[in-house]
C-alpha cells in the first residue's frame, strides 16, 4: 500500500454562518439558538441552499490534497467487489427467485424460474432501468400476488423514505395504471390477488398512521381507510402471517406493541385487535395452522416464547409457555416451520440458534469465531426439512448455509467473494471486555491484520459505536475495512449500553435518564484500548452515524482530547430542540427512547448531553460531517447548525468539514458503487490525518 503523505492543511476562510438569535423557552428556561434560521422544511430557502453549497465547496477545497488518495481508495473498494454476481435462488410457491448484478450496474435485476438452475429465468424487474436518470433510487418492497401472476413494487426517488407503489402483470410485462402515492413502501396482498393493503404517511411528520385497502383497476382516491392510529408515538407496519391466513398490522413504540389482524380471505372485512393493548407489553406474534407463537416480555424482561389458539390469544393469562424466560439469555425471535421452530437467542453477546422439533427435542447451532453475526435468512416455505442461515464475522465474508434441521449439519451454499489479495488467515479478531467507570463489563469486538499489528501502543485505531434503540451492532465482515486494516489500523466495535448485546437490561441502562452511560462506555473503551496497547493514544479515530452521530457529538464535547479524527454521519445532534417539536418527523415516536422534554425531568436529562447545546470554547478533534439534504430521520439542519456553532466556539485549528449530498436521504447515496465514494472519503480522511 502507498505510504505517501497527503495534505490536509487548514484553509484560512471556512464558511461563516450569520447569527440570527432565536429564543426558545421551556419550563422557565430560555435558550438562544443563533442558527435556528437554517431549518427549512420546504428545502427551498436561498440562504440555506447557498450556505450548504458553500460548505460543500469548502469541503472539496479543504480535502483537495487527498483527492488522489480518495480515488485510490475508491478503486480499492470497487476492486474487491465481484462485478457479475447473483444471489442463491430461493423457492417461494411454484417458482425460484434470485437477483443478478452485471458489470458496472449500480442495481440488481430480479428474476424467477421454474427450477433452481434458473434455465428458464423470467425478468421481473430491472432496477437499473427503473432508476433511470434519478440521482437517488431505492427499491422498497417487491410483493408477488398469491396467484403468482402479478407483482407490486415500491420505489423512493428522493431518499425521504416516502414510497410510490406500482403494479405489473408478469405474463405480459404490462404495467397497471394503478399508482399508490405517499406510502411506507410495504404492500400486502389479500388472497384474492386483486386487493392490496398499504400504509399511508403523514407528509409532515412522515409517520405511517393509516392503512388503506386498494382494489386493482380503481383510482387511489377511491381506496378505503381500514385503520387509523391516533397515538402518534406508534410506528406502523404491515405483514402477513406465516400461513398467509391473516393480514397483520404491527404497531410499536419503543416500549409497547399492538397487533391487529384481518382474515386474508375476506379483504372487505374489518381488522380487529389480536390482544388488548397494554403499555409496556412488547411482543411479536406469528401464526401457522391453528397456533399463534408469541415472543413476549410479559413477566419476562429478556422475553419468552408463548403459544395460543384463536380462542385464547386475546387473554394472555391463557397463553401456554413454550420456552421460559432466562435472566442471562435474550430471546430475539422465532422462525416457524411445519415440524420445527428455530429460536434466535443471545447469551453473553453471542447469537445462537436452537432448533426445536415437534417432540420438543432441542438442537443448538453454534459457531467458532470469537465474535460474529448470524441470522435466519429467507425461508418462505414452512414445509421443509432444512433452513437457510446467514453467517459472517470480522474475518469471514458473508456466507449462506443450508442447515439440516434434524442433524444441524451446515452446507455452504455461497460465500461472498472478495477480489484481490484478501486471505482470511492474515487477520485476527478478538472479543474483549472493558471495565467501565461504574464497574460494568462492556464488550468490544476487535479485528486487525496480524503482520501489521503489535500490541505495543503504536497502531492507529478506528472505533465505531451506535448504542441506541436496543439495536445490536454485531461484528460482521466489511470488505471496505480492509483498506484500513491493511494500513495498520485496528478496527473496534464498542458494544455500549443502549444496544442489546448483553440483553434487555443492557438497552435499558443506555436510554432515557441513563443515556450518559452510552457516552461513558465509549470513552472508557477508548482509554482502555490505548492503555492496553491496542492503539497509540494520538492515533485514535472514531465514527458513528444517526444515533451513533449523537454519540460522536456527545463524546467530542466530553472527551475531545482522546480523538485525532471523527466521522459524524447523518448525526442526531440537536436533541433537545427536536424532541420539543412534534412537527418534526419521528419526534413523537422517540419519547420512549430519549424521554419527553416537555417533562421537566427529561428536559434536564437531555439538556445535559445534547451535542448542539453543549458545544463550548475548547479544542475539538478533526471532524468530517456528512448528511443527506432529503434525510427524513435526522433533518439536514441538525448537522448544519452544529457545524456552524462549532466553527464559532472551537479554539483549535483542526479540520472541520461538512458535506451534504443534495440528492440523498438518511441512507446516503444509492447504488452499489456510488455509495463507495462516501466510504472512500472517510477512510481517506482518517489516513491523511495520520500523515499530517
Render pLDDT for 612-650 as a digit per residue (tens, 0 to 9). 999 999 999 999 999 999 887 789 999 999 999 999 999
675: pLDDT strictly greater than 50: yes
User: What is the model's pTM?
Assistant: 0.93
Best CA proximity match to 108, nearest among 71, 78, 83:
83
Please list the active-site residues. Answer: 546, 631, 666
Q: Tell me the CA end-to-end span of the chain in Å, nearest whole number.
A: 18
Asked whether residue 271 carries a pLDDT value surpassing 90, the answer given is yes
- Rounded to whole angstroms, the maximal C-alpha distance in the chain is 73
Specify if 244 maps to a domain: yes
pLDDT of residue 2: 46
Q: Which of 659, 657, 477, 629 is nearest to 43 (CA)?
A: 629
Q: Any idea what DSSP says for residue 89?
A: P
Question: Where in the sequence is the domain holding 435, given as residue range(s)?
Answer: 423-537
Task: Please tell me whether residues 512 and 570 are part of one structural domain.
Answer: no
Q: What is the pLDDT of residue 643?
A: 98
Given this model, what pLDDT does residue 119 score?
85
Contacting residues for 173 by C-beta, under 8 A, at least 6 apart:
none
Looking at the DSSP bridge assignments, the partners of residue 465 are 494
Between the alpha carbon of residue 462 and those of residues 290, 530, 655, 689, the distances in Å are 51, 12, 18, 12
In a domain, 306, yes or no: no
Please give the pLDDT value at position 248: 98
Quote the CA–CA distance of 79 and 73 in Å, as a whole number: 9
Helix and strand numbers, DSSP H then E, in the chain: 12, 39
Query: Of 271, 305, 335, which residue sits at a domain end?
Result: 271
Query: Residue 524 sits in a domain of what CATH number?
Result: 3.40.50.1820
In-domain check, residue 553:
no
Q: Would strands 320-323 and 362-365 be described as parallel, antiparallel, or unpaired?
A: unpaired
> Mean pLDDT score of the chain, rounded to an integer?
94
Q: Give yes or no: residues 265 and 143 share one domain.
A: yes
**Coil, strand or helix: which one is 48?**
helix
- pLDDT category at 667 given cuts 50, 70, 90 is low
Cα torsion for 40, 41, 44, 50, to the nearest 10°? 30
Q: What burial letters (b/e) apply to 386-423, b meaning 16+ CB within 10 Å?
A: bbbbebbbbbbbbbbbbbebeeeebeeeeebebeeebe
Report if residue 291 sits inside a domain. no
Asked, for residue 373, whether it belongs to a domain, the answer is no
Cα radius of gyration rounded to whole Å, the chain: 25
Domain limit, last residue, from 271, 297, 328: 271
CA pair distance 478, 165, nearest whole angstrom: 32
Of 242, 271, 300, which marks where a domain is finished? 271
- Whether 79 has a pLDDT exceeding 90, the answer reads yes
Alpha-carbon gap, residue 331 to 318, rounded angstroms: 21
- Residue 671's CB is within 10 A of a number of other CB atoms, namely 18
- DSSP, res 216: T
Q: Show the CA angle centred on residue 154, arms to residues 152 and 158, nearest 5°.
A: 165
- Looking at the structure, do residues 513 and 576 belong to the same domain, yes or no? no
Q: What is the DSSP letter of 202?
A: P
Amino acid at each position: 500500500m502507498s505510504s505517501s503523505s497527503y495534505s490536509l492543511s487548514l484553509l484560512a476562510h471556512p464558511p461563516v454562518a450569520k447569527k440570527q438569535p432565536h429564543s426558545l423557552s421551556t419550563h422557565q428556561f430560555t435558550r438562544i439558538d443563533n442558527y435556528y434560521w437554517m431549518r427549512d422544511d420546504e428545502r427551498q430557502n436561498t440562504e440555506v441552499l447557498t450556505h450548504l453549497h458553500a460548505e460543500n465547496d469548502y469541503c472539496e477545497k479543504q480535502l483537495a490534497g487527498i483527492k488522489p488518495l480518495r480515488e485510490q481508495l475508491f478503486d480499492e473498494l470497487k476492486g474487491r467487489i465481484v462485478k457479475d454476481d447473483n444471489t442463491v435462488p430461493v423457492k417461494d410457491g411454484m417458482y425460484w427467485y434470485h437477483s443478478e448484478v452485471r458489470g458496472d450496474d449500480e442495481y440488481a435485476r430480479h428474476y424467477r424460474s421454474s427450477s433452481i438452475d434458473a434455465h428458464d429465468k423470467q425478468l421481473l424487474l430491472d432496477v437499473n432501468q427503473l432508476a433511470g436518470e434519478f440521482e437517488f433510487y431505492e427499491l422498497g418492497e417487491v410483493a408477488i400476488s398469491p396467484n403468482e401472476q402479478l407483482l407490486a413494487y415500491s420505489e423512493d426517488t428522493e431518499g425521504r423514505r416516502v414510497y410510490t407503489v406500482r403494479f405489473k402483470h408478469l405474463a405480459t410485462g404490462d404495467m397497471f395504471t394503478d399508482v399508490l402515492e405517499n406510502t411506507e413502501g410495504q404492500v400486502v396482498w389479500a388472497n384474492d390477488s386483486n386487493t392490496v393493503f398499504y400504509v399511508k404517511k403523514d407528509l409532515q411528520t412522515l409517520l405511517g398512521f393509516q392503512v388503506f385497502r386498494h382494489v386493482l383497476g380503481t383510482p387511489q382516491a377511491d381506496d378505503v381507510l381500514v385503520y387509523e392510529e391516533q397515538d402518534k408515538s406508534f410506528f406502523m407496519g404491515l405483514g402477513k402471517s406465516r400461513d398467509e391466513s391473516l393480514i397483520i398490522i404491527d404497531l410499536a413504540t419503543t416500549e409497547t406493541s399492538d397487533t391487529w389482524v384481518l382474515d386474508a380471505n375476506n379483504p372487505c372485512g374489518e381488522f380487529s385487535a389480536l390482544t388488548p393493548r397494554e403499555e409496556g407489553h412488547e411482543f411479536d406474534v406469528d401464526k401457522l395452522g391453528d397456533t399463534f407463537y408469541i415472543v413476549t416480555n410479559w413477566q419476562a424482561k429478556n422475553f419468552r416464547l408463548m403459544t395460543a389458539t384463536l380462542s385464547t390469544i386475546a387473554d394472555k393469562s391463557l397463553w401456554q409457555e413454550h420456552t421460559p424466560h432466562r435472566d442471562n439469555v435474550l430471546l430475539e425471535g422465532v422462525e416457524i416451520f411445519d415440524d420445527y421452530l428455530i429460536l434466535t437467542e443471545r447469551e453473553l453477546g453471542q447469537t445462537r440458534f436452537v432448533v426445536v422439533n415437534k417432540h420438543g427435542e432441542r438442537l443448538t447451532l453454534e459457531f467458532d469465531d470469537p465474535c460474529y453475526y448470524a441470522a435466519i435468512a429467507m425461508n418462505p416455505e414452512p414445509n421443509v426439512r432444512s433452513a437457510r442461515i446467514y453467517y459472517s464475522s470480522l474475518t469471514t465474508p458473508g456466507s449462506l448455509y443450508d442447515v439440516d434441521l434434524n442433524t444441524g449439519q451446515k452446507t455452504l451454499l455461497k460465500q461472498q467473494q472478495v477480489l484481490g489479495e484478501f486471505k482470511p488467515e492474515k487477520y485476527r479478531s478478538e472479543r474483549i471486555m472493558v471495565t467501565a467507570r461504574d464497574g460494568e463489563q462492556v464488550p468490544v469486538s476487535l479485528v486487525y491484520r496480524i503482520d501489521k499489528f503489535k500490541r505495543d501502543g503504536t497502531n492507529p485505531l478506528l472505533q465505531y459505536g451506535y448504542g441506541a434503540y436496543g439495536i445490536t451492532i454485531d461484528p460482521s465482515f466489511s470488505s471496505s475495512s480492509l483498506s484500513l486494516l491493511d494500513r495498520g489500523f485496528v478496527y473496534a466495535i464498542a458494544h455500549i449500553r443502549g444496544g442489546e448485546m448483553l440483553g434487555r437490561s443492557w438497552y435499558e441502562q443506555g436510554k432515557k435518564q441513563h443515556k450518559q452511560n452510552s457516552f461513558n462506555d465509549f470513552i472508557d473503551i477508548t482509554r482502555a484500548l490505548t492503555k492496553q496497547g491496542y492503539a497509540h493514544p494520538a492515533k485514535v479515530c472514531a465514527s458513528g452515524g444517526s444515533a451513533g452521530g449523537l454519540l460522536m457529538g456527545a463524546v467530542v464535547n466530553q472527551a475531545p482530547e482522546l480523538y485525532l479524527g471523527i466521522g459524524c454521519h447523518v448525526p442526531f445532534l440537536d436533541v433537545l430542540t427536536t424532541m420539543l417539536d412534534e412537527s418534526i418527523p419521528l419526534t413523537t415516536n422517540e419519547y420512549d427512547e430519549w424521554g419527553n422534554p416537555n417533562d421537566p425531568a427529561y428536559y434536564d436529562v437531555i439538556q445535559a448531553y445534547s451535542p448542539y447545546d453543549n458545544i463550548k470554547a475548547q479544542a475539538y478533534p478533526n471532524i468530517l460531517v456528512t448528511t443527506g439534504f432529503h434525510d427524513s430521520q435526522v433533518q439536514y439542519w441538525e448537522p448544519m447548525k452544529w457545524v456552524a456553532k462549532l466553527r464559532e466556539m472551537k479554539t483549535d485549528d483542526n479540520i472541520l468539514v461538512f458535506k451534504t449530498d443534495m440528492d440523498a436521504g438518511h441512507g446516503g447515496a444509492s447504488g452499489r458503487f456510488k455509495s463507495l465514494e462516501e466510504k472512500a472519503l472517510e477512510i481517506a480522511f482518517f489516513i491523511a490525518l495520520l500523515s499530517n
